[in-house]
């Protein structure tokens, strides 16, 4: 369970271009199911996900994960938490060019030093499951949007995280591909993982297994509904 208490994030604090991206968000996120953060562009969805996913620290407020305070954890431990708890699917996919699909999927596990054949097999299994096993040896540059999205999803799962964070997962896909990706995310929720999605795409709000819809505007929570 993740709990946010009065969390704020200010960019460029004290400078003329100061930007208050989040203003005093308090929120409890229970485990399991899909939670969607909706809101217009610039409302702070991405910022909120980066804080929850330990990619950045809040300017003020507390974040706890299963009772453990994250906001003042040293960098090293934060990485540790990030590595074992969260898998990320970025809006721009953020796959590394020049590497193959398989290598990209294996990448998050390198620092863990798992035996190579075992890691390789795990990555291949994930790719097979997402229907792109045949692309394992291809370079990232040659993938279509849907294939890149699945690769990113496989990469997010390689360390078997309890939570998957997906930022606008359908933003670069057409409706058919969007539905497929949502189905995959739904499957993850079925397996008992917690899935956090940010989106302003109505397709996402209506997807299966979405159990909660949180609405943001100007860095504040303006709606919180169960589905």
Ligand X SMILES: Nc1ncnc2c1ncn2[C@@H]1O[C@H](COP(=O)(O)OP(=O)(O)O)[C@@H](O)[C@H]1O
Of 218, 150, 212, the C-alpha closest to 183 is 150
Pick one of Mg ion, ligand X, another protein, none as the site partner of residue 15 (Cβ within 5 to 8 A by kind).
none
Q: What angle do CA 65, 71, 74 make, to 5 degrees?
A: 105
* Subset of 5-44 contacting another protein (CB under 8 A): none
Phi, psi of 34 (to 5 degrees): -105, 130
Is 103 among the residues that bind another protein (CB under 8 A)?
Answer: yes
CA distances, 186 to each of 5, 106, 119, 132 (Å) = 28, 23, 25, 18
CB of 45 to Mg ion, least distance (A): 5
Closer residue to Mg ion (CB): 37 or 130: 37
Is 226 among the residues that bind ligand X (CB under 6 A)?
Answer: no
Task: List the one residue from 16, 67, 74, 113 that touches another protein (CB under 8 A).
Answer: 113
| 109: CB partners within 8 A, 6+ apart | 119, 122, 158, 159
Is 83 among the residues that bind another protein (CB under 8 A)?
Answer: yes
CB of 176 to another protein, least distance (A): 24
Write out the E strands in 135-193.
Answer: 163-167
Task: List the one residue from 40, 111, 131, 192 that touches another protein (CB under 8 A).
Answer: 111
Structure tokens belonging to residue 210? 């979405």
* Subset of 18-77 contacting ligand X (CB under 6 A): 19, 21, 39, 41-47
Cβ–Cβ < 8 Å for 148, 93: yes
CB of 22 to another protein, least distance (A): 12
The stretch among 23-31, 75-83, 122-130, 174-182 that binds another protein (CB under 8 A) is: 75-83
| DSSP label of 207 | S
Polymer length of the chain: 227
Closer residue to Mg ion (CB): 126 or 185: 185
Closer residue to ligand X (CB): 11 or 205: 11
Task: List the one residue from 46, 50, 85, 149 that touches Mg ion (CB under 5 A).
Answer: 46
Region of residue 168 (left: phi > 0; alpha: psi -120 to 50; beta: else): left
Q: Which residues bind ligand X (CB under 6 A)?
A: 11-12, 19, 21, 39, 41-47
Q: Which residues bind Mg ion (CB under 5 A)?
A: 46
């Amino acid at each position: 369970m993740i709990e946010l208490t009065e969390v704020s994030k200010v960019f460029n604090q004290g400078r003329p271009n100061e930007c208050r991206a989040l203003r005093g968000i308090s929120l409890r996120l229970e485990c399991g199911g899909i939670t969607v953060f909706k809101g217009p562009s610039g409302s702070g969805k991405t910022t909120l996900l980066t804080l929850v996913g330990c990619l950045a620290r809040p300017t003020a407020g507390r974040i706890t994960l299963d009772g453990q305070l994250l906001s003042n954890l040293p960098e090293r431990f934060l990485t540790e938490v990030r590595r074992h708890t969260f898998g990320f699917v970025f809006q721009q996919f953020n796959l590394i060019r020049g590497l193959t699909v398989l290598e990209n999927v294996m990448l998050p596990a390198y620092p863990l030093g798992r035996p190579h054949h075992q890691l390789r097999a795990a990555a291949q299994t994930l790719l097979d499951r997402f229907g792109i096993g045949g692309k394992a040896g291809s370079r990232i540059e040659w993938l279509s949007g849907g294939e890149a999205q699945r690769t990113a999803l496989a990469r997010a799962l390689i360390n078997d995280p309890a939570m998957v964070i997906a930022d606008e997962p359908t933003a670069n896909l057409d409706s058919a591909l969007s539905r497929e990706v949502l189905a995959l995310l739904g499957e993850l929720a079925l397996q008992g993982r917690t899935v956090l999605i940010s989106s302003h795409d109505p397709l996402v709000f209506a997807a299966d297994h979405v159990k909660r819809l949180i609405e943001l505007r100007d860095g504040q929570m303006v709606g919180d509904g169960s589905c």
